[in-house]
Structure 1
C-alpha cells in the first residue's frame, strides 16, 4: 500500500498539469456554441437540399475552399476550410460572416488544438493519451487509498485551508465522489487516441479486426475535380440514398483522382457529424460507394459513442452541466495536486543537537 501511495503521489505531481489543462479547456469547449457570438449563429438549420446546394456552390466557387462543415441544430453557421490553417464562417445563404488566416485568430480553434494536441500535433496527442491512462490509474489507485481513511470523509468544493493536509483531504474526498464520471471521461478520451485501449473496450461487442475492416476507408479512384460540378445533383443523390439524414461534412479531394467525401448523420447516430459516408467521383459527381453507419458492427457503434459521451454531445443541458462539473473537478484535482506536491511539502524537522 505504501508503494501504491508513493506511485500515486509522484505520478500525480508530474502529470497533474496536463490533466488540469485538459480539465479547463474541455470545460470551455463544452459550451463553445454559447460563447461564439457571431451574426446568424442562432439561425435554425436549413434542411432544404436545393438551398444547401446553392450555398455549397457559392462557398466553393473560386477553388480556394477545401471543404465545408455544415451548420447543425446547435450552431447556425457553416464552417469553410481554406488552405492549411485558414477558414471562414458563413451564414446558410453562403454569405461570409468572418474569416481567418490562422487558428490564433479564433479562440475556439486554438483552445481545441490545445485540448487535443497541446499545440504539438501528434506528439502532443500522445502525451494527452498517456495522461489519460495516468488518470485512469489515479482513479483506481485513489479509490483504493481512500478506503483506509473513509471514516474521515467530508466532501467540500474547496479545501478548508490551503495547507497540505487540508488539500490532500479535499483531493482524496472529491476524487472518490467524482471517480465514476472522471473514469468515463478519461476512458472515452483515451480510447479515441490509443488503438489498444479502443480494442479492449470494444472486444466484448465485436472483434477489433472486424471493426477496423468495417471502418477502413475504401479505395476509390476518379477524375480530377470539376470546377463546374453539379452540387445539386450530388446532394440530391445523397439525400435519396439516406432520406432524412443531415448533411455534415463535405471534403474535397486533396489530390487528383481522390473522391469527394460526404459525411451525413442519420437520426439514430449519436456522433454529431455522423459516420454515414458517401464517396463521389470528383469529375462527374457520380456516386462511387456509400457506407451506412447503422449497419456497422456493434463494436463500431460502441466506439462511435466515445466522442459524444466525452464531449457531452448527447443528454442535453443536464449532461453538459454534469460534464462541466467533471471538467472543474479535474482542473482542481490537477492544480491542487501540483501545489501540494511541489510547493506545500512539509519541511523536514530540525533535530535537537545531541548532548555531549
Structure 2
C-alpha cells in the first residue's frame, strides 16, 4: 500500500476526496439537479404557462408549411428562419426558430395565423433549460456542466464505496435511525439516498456528460469502440442558385417513403448550396424526435439522401439512446417521474452533504477554540 494510504488509511482518503470533491462541485450539481427535475416536463409546463402561444383549436385541414413560413417571414422579415418544429399533438402550435438568435415564432398550423413571437430565454422554462444545459454561458458553460457531471459520477461512486456494508450488515445499512440526533439522522439519509439512486444518477450524469462533451469525448469514444462515428456530413444541393422549391411537396414525399412515420422537424438551408432536411421518427425508434433524415435539394426538391435510423451504424444507434435516457422518455411517464426523483435526490444529497460538512467543521472549530482557551487559562491566573 502506498505510504499516503498507509498513513491515513484508505477509507479516510476516500472520504476526504468524496467530501471535498462533492463540496467543490456542489453548486453545479445543485443547479443541475433542481433545473433537471423541472425541465423533464419542459414542454408541458411551457405550453400551460404560455397557452396563447402554444394552444390551438384542432381542425380538419392544415395550412401548407410554405403558407405558414410566408406569414412568419412577412412578420419577421429581418431574421432567417432556420428550423420548423411540427406540432406533435393536434392542439399545439407550430414553432419556427430563427438562426443566430433566440427568437421563436409560433403559428396556428390550421389557419396559418401567427400567434406571436418571443425570445426563448425570456420565458421561465427557456431560462431554466439554458441554465441546465449552458449555465447561461453558451458552449463554455455546456462544457463545464459536462465535466461537472463526470465529477459527480466520481463523487457518487466513492460515496457508494463508503456506504457499502460489511458482510451481514445489510439490514443496518438500509435503515435510517429516525430517533437519532440530527447529525446522525441526516448522515443516514445522505448515505441511503445516494446508494438507492446510484444507478439512475450515473445513467443520467453519463448521458448528460456525453451530450455536453459530444465532440470532445463522445464521438471519439464511439469511433474507438465501433470503428465508425455517428457524425455524417450533410449532402449539398446540386445547384447554388435559383428559386427555392416549395417545402410541402418534400413533406409529402417523405410521408410516401415512410408511411405512418411522424415528421418532427424541418431544417431549412443556411447556405446557397445546402439541402433541406426533413427529420422523422419511425416506429421502433427510441429517440422522441426520431433520428431518420431525408435530405432534399433546395432548388428542385429531389431526394439527395435517406438516413434511416433503424438501418444506421452502431455508433449512430448508440448515440440515439443518449437523449432519451437522459430525459427519461424511454419508458413513458414512469421513467420521466424517476428522472424528477433523480434530480431532487441530487439536490438533497448536495444540500445534506454541505450541511454535514459545515456541522462537522463548526464542531471541530469550536473544539479547537475551547482547547486553546484551556491552554491559555493558567497564564490568566
What is the deviation of 1:266?
Answer: 0.8
Instruction: Indicate which of 21, 25, 30 corresponds to 1:15.
Output: 25
Instruction: Indicate which of 15, 20, 27 corresponds to 1:5.
Output: 15
Aligned 8 A contact 2:18 2:155 in 1: yes
2:6 counterpart residue number: none
Aligned 8 A contact 1:18 1:131 in 2: yes
CA–CA distance in structure 1, aligned partners of residues 25 and 179 of structure 2: 25
Residue 25 (1) aligns with residue 41 (2): no
What is the deviation of 1:28?
Answer: 0.8
CA–CA distance in structure 2, aligned partners of residues 44 and 290 of structure 1: 34
2:103 counterpart residue number: 86
Instruction: Indicate which of 162, 170, 195 corresponds to 1:176.
Output: 195
Alignment of 1:91-106 (within 5 A): 91-93=108-110, 94-100=112-118, 102-106=119-123
CA–CA distance in structure 2, aligned partners of residues 45 and 129 of structure 1: 40
Instruction: Indicate which of 148, 153, 173 corresponds to 1:153.
Output: 173
Aligned 8 A contact 2:72 2:105 in 1: no
Aligned length: 349
TM-score by length of 1: 0.85
Residue 309 (1) aligns with residue 325 (2): yes
CA–CA distance in structure 1, aligned partners of residues 107 and 179 of structure 2: 49
Alignment of 1:209-248 (within 5 A): 209-212=227-230, 215-223=231-239, 229-248=245-264
Task: Please state which structure has a larger fraction of its residues in helix.
Answer: 2
Which one is further off, 125-134 or 192-201?
Answer: 192-201
1:167 counterpart residue number: 186
Aligned CA RMSD, in angstroms, stands at 3.2
Aligned 8 A contact 1:132 1:186 in 2: yes
TM-score by length of 2: 0.80
CA–CA distance in structure 2, aligned partners of residues 19 and 184 of structure 1: 15
Aligned 8 A contact 2:175 2:188 in 1: no
Unaligned runs of 5+ in 1: none
Instruction: Indicate which of 127, 131, 134 corresponds to 2:144.
Output: 127
Unaligned runs of 5+ in 2: 1-10
CA–CA distance in structure 1, aligned partners of residues 241 and 60 of structure 2: 26
Alignment of 1:323-342 (within 5 A): 323-342=339-358
Which one is further off, 257-266 or 116-125?
Answer: 257-266
Rg (Cα) greater in structure: 2
Aligned 8 A contact 2:28 2:148 in 1: yes
